[in-house]
Amino acid sequence: AQTVTQSQPEMSVQEAETVTLSCTYDTSESDYYLFWYKQPPSRQMILVIRQEAYKQQNATENRFSVNFQKAAKSFSLKISDSQLGDAAMYFCAYRRDLGGGGSEKLVFGKGTKLTVNP
């Protein structure tokens, strides 16, 4: 079964600095998709960024970028120029590719709580 591990329950960063959140996953699949979701205090889940496993290029969305290491099964999220509004729980998630067959599940890690200090 696929598992997603976020080893940092909590992280903190100074405003305007850069922070990296870690995520590792376990899978025997070769094709899959990875995601980072943000959950601010409002509890709303918001998709931050996605990465296709077949793409070597790391995904980027404005100040958010990932470091995807397929062989190491690692998928970290880098937030540059951190802002107070970035304070939230961040969840890493894994989805297996449709072509692999089986159920279409989205498996989440346990989350990392990010605090941004002014």
The residues that touch another protein, with contacts defined as CB under 8 A, are: 6, 9, 33, 35, 43-47, 50, 91, 93, 95, 97-98, 103-111
**Tokens (6 digits) for 65:** 């970028």
In our burial notation (b when 16+ CB lie closer than 10 A, e otherwise), range 48-86 reads bbebebeeeeebeeeebbbebeeeebebbbebeebeeeb
Which is nearer to another protein, 73 or 95 (by Cβ)? 95
- How many Cα atoms occupy the beta-carbon half-sphere of 13 within 13 Å? 22
Residue type, 96: R
Which is nearer to another protein, 56 or 103 (by Cβ)? 103
Residue 17 beta carbon to another protein: minimum distance, rounded to whole angstroms: 26
Residue 8 beta carbon to another protein: minimum distance, rounded to whole angstroms: 13
Residue 59 beta carbon to another protein: minimum distance, rounded to whole angstroms: 12
Which is nearer to another protein, 54 or 83 (by Cβ)? 54
